[in-house]
Amino acid sequence: MSASSRVPVVGAASSRASATLGSLSLGGKISVLMLLTLTLVAVFGPALAPHDPLERVGQAMMPPGTDGFLFGTDQSGRDLLSRTLEGVRTTWLGAVVVLAATAMFGALIGVWAGSTRGVVDSVLMRVTDVFLSLPAPIVAIAVVAAIGSSLGNALLAIAIVWWPWYARIVRNEVAALSARPHVEAARLAGVRGVRLRTHHLLPGALPTLVVAATLDVGALILTLTALSFLGLGAPDPAPELGAMIASGSSYVLDQPWLVLVPSIAITFMTLCAGMAGDTIGGMLGRRQ
């Protein structure tokens, strides 16, 4: 029944967005709210922080709540709240940057391979397989050993092992799309080259790519904090969640908040990313 499944003319984009929000489940609404909070923290983190995260502002290892330090202080007397906010900010932004960069690079390679096929496809996919087989921590150690430890280098190391997934996903989607009648029709209409790829192939692979990427945010955050825990991120005074857990772990029995506060922040971020990924996936799935 083609007539009944016809979509009525869609109005202004804003009314469409609000309609989409309204149709979300309770879990979906909560995840959107959490995502909003997280983004606000990421953007306004430094402004929200009551103290300088790098300076000694009170006695060392004060429990949460003492002297107005909401989360207490760490072993060097720095404000744990300010450090956590800053840590969430760098981790979240780092994850988003790596994700965007790897998804874009992966899409580029994937569209190229999937639409060209033949030898180009084989070569690109074998190269992808090589990168896919590299373990993230070892690549990170190699990169850091070569060019020094910093947050940027850790992100670079992760990006090197992260993009092949997206290249594979996009390549398979594009290869499947290439056989569809609308691509044949476009070819007959004389569309080829870049325009065929950007207008008739890539948009069809985007929903799958976006769902895969959003579901990956959690894993990316965990990898990032793991590298920082191992000391492969920015060196000590920098407020990184992984490094904070590492340095607080010696005091975990007597001053558990040193480990708990950054751990809870990481849990919150991955939970948030996972729920948002499910929501976005559901929304895209419904639209198809």
Partner 1 sequence: MTVQSVDLQGHDSRSRSTEGVPESTIAPAVLLARGLEVSFERSGRRAHALRGVDLEIRPGEIVGLVGESGSGKTVLGLAALGLLPSSDGVRTGGELVVDGVDVLHATGREMDTLRRRLGAVFQDPMTSLNPTMRIGDQLRERTGDSETAVDLLESVGIPDAADRLRHFPHQLSGGQRQRVMIAMAISGSPSLIIADEPTTALDVTVQAQILRLLNDLRDRIDCSVLFITHDLAVASEVADRIVVAYAGRLVEMGPNALTEQPAHPYTAGLLDSRLTLTTPTDRPLPTIPGEQPDPASESVGCSFAPRCRSRVDECEQEPPPTVTATHGGWVACVRPDRTTSQQSRAATWTPLDAPSGRFGLELVDIHVSFTTGRGRKKRTVEVLRGLDLRVAPGESVAIVGESGSGKSTLLRVVAGLVQPDRGDVALRSGARPQMVFQDAGASLTPWLRVGEQVGERLREEGLDRSERAAKVAETLQLVGLPAAVTDLKPAQLSGGQRQRLGLARAIVVPPTLLLCDEPTSALDVSLAAVVLNLLGEIRRRLGMSMLFVTHDLAAARIVADRIVVVKDGVIIEELVADELHLTQHPYTRTLLAAIPGTRIRLEPRVQEEEL
Task: Compute the distance between CA of residue 88 and CA of residue 268 in angstroms, rounded to an integer.
Answer: 10
**Structural contact between residues 269 and 42, judged by C-beta atoms closer than 8 angstroms:** no
Site string for partner 1, 130-169 (x = CB under 8 A): ----------------------------------------
Q: Binding to partner 1 by residue 10, rule CB under 8 A? A: yes
Alpha-helical (H) ranges within the chain are 13-22, 26-48, 80-116, 118-132, 136-147, 151-178, 181-188, 193-195, 202-229, 241-248, 257-287
214: helix, strand or coil: helix
Tell me the window of 37-45, 168-176, 194-202, 225-233 that interacts with partner 1 (CB under 8 A): 194-202
Q: Binding to partner 1 by residue 184, rule CB under 8 A? A: yes
Instruction: Restricting to residues 195-234, name those near partner 1 by CB under 8 A.
Output: 195, 199-200, 203-204
Q: Binding to partner 1 by residue 118, rule CB under 8 A? A: no
Task: Compute the distance between CA of residue 134 and CA of residue 136 in angstroms, rounded to an integer.
Answer: 6
Nearer Cβ to partner 1, position 43 or 189?
A: 189
User: What is the closest distance, in whole angstroms, from the C-beta atom of residue 12 to partner 1 in the complex?
Assistant: 13
Q: Binding to partner 1 by residue 253, rule CB under 8 A? A: no
Burial class (CB in 10 A: 0-12, 13-18, 19+), 32: middle
Task: Compute the distance between CA of residue 250 and CA of residue 256 in angstroms, rounded to an integer.
Answer: 10
User: What is the closest distance, in whole angstroms, from the C-beta atom of residue 92 to partner 1 in the complex?
Assistant: 30
| Near partner 1 by CB under 8 A: residue from 54, 159, 191, 210 | 191
Q: Binding to partner 1 by residue 181, rule CB under 8 A? A: yes
- Contact set with partner 1 (CB under 8 A): 1-10, 19, 180-191, 195, 199-200, 203-204
